[in-house]
Chain A
């Protein structure tokens, strides 16, 4: 018997360079909000999962450090890692624990404090995330470098330009400017993006998500408990998941992230979404725009556009508020910030608030259908999670 699971409380810290707080203080910012939002106390949490990639930050056992500070000790816990999709892996495990009847209330916390190390060290750690021995050791790839390999191939095949990529940054900064918790709450112009320096040709600084400190927390509950806690539970309708090779060279093309396609396929199947026109089911989506090219690939991998036509969605501004599918109204990883293992939980927080219609009015999606989608990629398509959230209850 699989039980329905809902999000009943969410919280998110301000994203950015957070030299004003320590690692556990940063965690408390989102945990305290999530407890308040759910109307729960720490003793009500039966298990908590902490997603954290780490390396750049000083605490090697983040789950217990956070547990002690936030008053969650002695509840069971574990730290999980799926690179930039770690947060979604925490949501999945929290969901599965409840769905299988092993607990009624579980907290998922994503946290990253990347600025405890200097930037070159952070670039090194992220660059090593792929296949360390065969890719990094000899060839010193960086994260923008890996995605630039996809950008070069995509631009060559479909005629997309550097301006097209920058259009994604302009959109996401536009919405980020209305998100007070974003790292860069400011608009940028196409010219500013085009003039920014290359970090991994053809990708520029303003094509890239920043190095971010931040935390996000979501409390998940079983149907019976959720009904008692809130009038607006946000149901987890489906979770699709997949992985791909650690070596990019083992992939057959650089035009699509296979794991994202697989994860979307699985999520659509579980939720009964027609994969030939999935966009019509959703009001709003948060997609993994760690680099601008990644948002265009996401449009295609999710089936919002045909192959080679994802670039048209941004050229025609179809993913702005009021468009057929509203994407990254939080500012996305690009402007909101990308605290690696907090990002996936942050997407769940954002979509919960979007569906409840409680975000800032300039970036509130039009909610007609009551369905939302998150697309969270770890590494360069190494891990993929596609989650579907709804205001209406899945079954039973």
Chain B
């Protein structure tokens, strides 16, 4: 990718804006700047909040153990047989919680896909990525990135498989949809 990444552009714009605010604040004693388009007076927040959550996966740990072995795990209620993916540790269908862990086939077909061209702030460091939904042989749908850069090479209904991969640059295990060449 030759052009500036979305992250670089975003950070550059933010840095310029902050320098602008700082210069005005030093001159006037107030963080009030004119809107670039309309000139309307804007107070620039002097407080900043960063959000980073911790989310319990205690009851679905076997899913992550599965990823470490290259497997995609789901739960199945041993009473009513309902299969859950993403895995659930409680079965709302029969309201019992006798779940067993099963391995999914990782083979299926592509139901639909899109390219994320304009990315959220926390994904701005990636190149454009394709997200798809695959339906596995056992009828379970899986949303994931598709290992392909060009959407015209993909077709609704094409055969795909699921592979466990390490997401970079963060370096954590997740799963991906991989087109299967016939």
Interface set of A (CB-CB < 8 Å, partner B): 17, 19-20, 58, 118, 120-121, 123-124, 127-128, 133-136, 138-142, 144-145, 148-153, 156-157, 197-203, 247-251, 254
Whether B143 contacts A249 by the Cβ 8 Å rule is: yes
Whether B121 contacts A142 by the Cβ 8 Å rule is: no
Assuming A124-B122, A149-B112, A153-B156, is B143 touching A201 (CB within 8 A)? no
Q: Residue A149 contacts which of B121, B131, B167 (CB distance < 8 angstroms)?
A: B131
Apart from the given pairs A151-B114, A153-B156, 15 other A-B contacts in the complex at a CB distance below 8 Å: A19-B35, A19-B40, A20-B40, A58-B45, A134-B143, A140-B123, A140-B131, A145-B116, A145-B131, A149-B133, A156-B156, A198-B115, A198-B117, A250-B141, A254-B133
Q: Which residues of B contact A142 (CB under 8 A)?
A: 116, 118-120
A289–B150 Cα distance when bound, in Å, is 28
Whether B121 contacts A124 by the Cβ 8 Å rule is: yes
Q: Which residues of A contact B37 (CB under 8 A)?
A: 17, 19
Whether A152 contacts B156 by the Cβ 8 Å rule is: yes
Whether A144 contacts B118 by the Cβ 8 Å rule is: yes
Q: Which residues of B contact A199 (CB under 8 A)?
A: 117-118
Tell me the residues in window 127-147 of chain B with beta carbons closer than 8 Å to chain A beta carbons: 129, 131, 133, 141-145
Assuming A200-B115, A200-B118, is B38 touching A247 (CB within 8 A)? no
A58–B47 Cα distance when bound, in Å, is 11
A127–B122 Cα distance when bound, in Å, is 10
Closest to A140 in B: B123
Interface set of B (CB-CB < 8 Å, partner A): 6, 10, 14, 35, 37-38, 40, 42, 45, 55, 85-86, 111-124, 126, 129, 131, 133, 141-145, 151, 155-157, 167, 174
Q: Label chain A's interface by main secondary structure.
A: helix
CB distance from B88 to the nearest CB of A (A): 11
Whether B126 contacts A153 by the Cβ 8 Å rule is: no
Assuming A120-B124, A248-B143, is B111 touching A153 (CB within 8 A)? yes
A27–B167 Cα distance when bound, in Å, is 44
Closest to B132 in A: A149
A121–B50 Cα distance when bound, in Å, is 12
Q: Which residues of B contact A149 (CB under 8 A)?
A: 112-114, 131, 133
Whether B122 contacts A152 by the Cβ 8 Å rule is: no
A200–B35 Cα distance when bound, in Å, is 29
Q: What would 7 A/B residue contacts be, using CB atoms closer than 8 Å? A: A19-B38, A20-B38, A139-B131, A156-B112, A198-B117, A200-B117, A201-B117
CB distance from B131 to the nearest CB of A (A): 5
Q: Which residues of A contact B86 (CB under 8 A)?
A: 134, 247
Whether A141 contacts B116 by the Cβ 8 Å rule is: yes
CB distance from B173 to the nearest CB of A (A): 10
* Total of A-B residue pairs, C-beta within 8 Å: 111
Whether B131 contacts A152 by the Cβ 8 Å rule is: no
Closest to A118 in B: B14
A232–B119 Cα distance when bound, in Å, is 47
The 8 residue pairs across chains A and B that have the minimum distance between CB atoms: A148-B114, A140-B123, A120-B121, A201-B115, A124-B120, A249-B141, A153-B112, A19-B40
Q: Which residues of A contact B157 (CB under 8 A)?
A: 156
CB distance from B84 to the nearest CB of A (A): 9
A157–B45 Cα distance when bound, in Å, is 48
Closest to B117 in A: A198
A199–B6 Cα distance when bound, in Å, is 13
Whether B10 contacts A120 by the Cβ 8 Å rule is: yes
A305–B119 Cα distance when bound, in Å, is 34
CB distance from A126 to the nearest CB of B (A): 8
Q: Residue A200 contacts which of B116, B121, B122, B145 (CB distance < 8 angstroms)?
A: B116
CB distance from B149 to the nearest CB of A (A): 12
Q: Residue A249 contacts which of B45, B55, B142, B155 (CB distance < 8 angstroms)?
A: B142
> Quick one: which of B10, B38, B114 has the most chain A CB within 10 A?
B114
A248–B114 Cα distance when bound, in Å, is 13
A87–B129 Cα distance when bound, in Å, is 33
A201–B117 Cα distance when bound, in Å, is 7
> Quick one: which of A135, A249, A254 has the most chain B CB within 10 A?
A249
Q: Residue A133 contacts which of B40, B55, B156 (CB distance < 8 angstroms)?
A: B55
Whether A200 contacts B40 by the Cβ 8 Å rule is: no
Q: Residue B126 contacts which of A134, A140, A141, A198 (CB distance < 8 angstroms)?
A: A140
Closest to A199 in B: B118
CB distance from A140 to the nearest CB of B (A): 4
Whether A123 contacts B120 by the Cβ 8 Å rule is: yes
A198–B119 Cα distance when bound, in Å, is 12
CB distance from A124 to the nearest CB of B (A): 4
Q: Which residues of B contact A58 (CB under 8 A)?
A: 45
Assuming A123-B120, A140-B119, is B40 touching A150 (CB within 8 A)? no
Closest to A157 in B: B156
Q: Which residues of B contact A136 (CB under 8 A)?
A: 120
Closest to B119 in A: A140
Q: Residue A247 contacts which of B14, B143, B155 (CB distance < 8 angstroms)?
A: B143
Q: Residue B114 contacts which of A157, A201, A249 (CB distance < 8 angstroms)?
A: A201
